Amino acid sequence: MIVIPAFAVGRAQALMLHLARLRQRNEIPPVPVFLNSPMAVDATRLYHEHHAEHHVSDEDCRRMYEIATFVNSVEESKALNRRREPMIIISASGMATGGRVLHHIEAFGPDDRNAIVLSGYQAGGTRGAALAGGAHTLRMFGREVPIRAEVIPLAGFSGHADANELLAWMRTTPSAPEMVYVTHGEPDASDTLRARIEHELGWHARAPEHMERVSLEGAN
């Protein structure tokens, strides 16, 4: 069994697209794929209905839509945890902070024959970050759930721009701002980006402290 915690809009559909392409090239066996997130199911239907709005081909969009069985009811979701045949479950939330994916991790996480694939960035303090860090148990449903399944992070699926991409974007501005505040990211990474902005662009930059307030009064 493979359980993939995934963000419902965008990430789940990207995973389905890549699974469809792998299946088409016979690079993965034809195991069933289940999409178990009401929001992801609704978003996938919208993707399918509006092919012209996407950069992938109509054929890719169709394969993405058809590769998975949509799980709608709670009863169908629970039934997945009783299956013993190989399968892939894509379910929200992407950082395992809540949602149906927790029940799948509880059901399949204790078995070392299974895998949990992390499909993007895992913020500190989340269950996803704990899994990425090698946690042997996860606190869920009032108890510690043992994790023996293989945990596989897919760093390439992160939707976050990296430092080089952010710097390249900032270079396109016609004039330097009075100050750049780096407010999203882990403290060490934020401070590293701040230093690069100052060194490479010559701009004033700060990584504010937790709960620090900045007044924009009089700012242009």
Residue 218 confidence class, pLDDT cut points 50, 70, 90: low
Write out pLDDT tens, residues 75-122: 999 999 999 999 999 999 999 999 999 999 999 999 999 999 998 888
Please check whether residue 211 lies inside any domain of the structure: no
Please check whether residue 214 lies inside any domain of the structure: no
Alpha-carbon span 12 to 17, nearest angstrom? 9
Please check whether residue 24 lies inside any domain of the structure: yes
Both 185 and 120 in one domain: the answer is no
Residue 15 confidence class, pLDDT cut points 50, 70, 90: very high
Q: For residues 33 and 8, which has the higher predicted lDDT (pLDDT)? A: 33
Both 134 and 180 in one domain: the answer is no
End of a domain among 141, 157, 173? 157
pLDDT of residue 161: 64
Please check whether residue 215 lies inside any domain of the structure: no
Please check whether residue 172 lies inside any domain of the structure: yes
Both 34 and 90 in one domain: the answer is yes
Both 132 and 169 in one domain: the answer is no
Alpha-carbon span 109 to 101, nearest angstrom? 11
Output the pTM of the full model.
0.76
Please check whether residue 98 lies inside any domain of the structure: yes
Mean pLDDT of the chain: 90
* DSSP states along 187-208: HHHHHHHHHHIIIII---EE-P
* DSSP states along 7-71: -TTTHHHHHHHHHHHHHHTT-S----EEEE-HHHHHHHHHHHHTGGGSSS-HHHHHHHHHSEEEP
Q: Which residue has the tokens 């994790």?
A: 147
Residue 158 confidence class, pLDDT cut points 50, 70, 90: low
Please check whether residue 218 lies inside any domain of the structure: no
Both 52 and 126 in one domain: the answer is yes
Rounded to 5 degrees, φ, ψ at 118 are: -90, 120
Query: How many domains, the chain?
Result: 2
Q: Is the pLDDT of residue 219 over 60?
A: no
Both 174 and 140 in one domain: the answer is no
Both tokens of residue 187? 């403290």
Q: Are 37 and 12 in contact (CB under 8 A)?
A: yes
Please check whether residue 30 lies inside any domain of the structure: yes
pLDDT of residue 165: 86
Both 191 and 128 in one domain: the answer is no
Alpha-carbon span 14 to 119, nearest angstrom? 10
Both 108 and 183 in one domain: the answer is no
Range(s) of the domain holding residue 200? 163-206
Both 71 and 173 in one domain: the answer is no
Q: Are 138 and 147 in contact (CB under 8 A)?
A: yes
Give me the mean pLDDT over the 163-175 stretch.
90
Alpha-carbon span 111 to 109, nearest angstrom? 6
Alpha-carbon span 65 to 59, nearest angstrom? 10
pLDDT of residue 154: 86
Both 181 and 114 in one domain: the answer is no
Both 88 and 102 in one domain: the answer is yes
End of a domain among 157, 189, 215? 157
Q: For residues 193 and 54, which has the higher predicted lDDT (pLDDT)? A: 193
Both tokens of residue 178? 């009075």
End of a domain among 139, 157, 175? 157
Residue 200 confidence class, pLDDT cut points 50, 70, 90: very high
* DSSP states along 113-169: T-EEEE-S---TTSHHHHHHTT-SEEEETTEEEE--SEEEE-GGG--S--HHHHHHH
Both 123 and 40 in one domain: the answer is yes
pLDDT of residue 49: 87
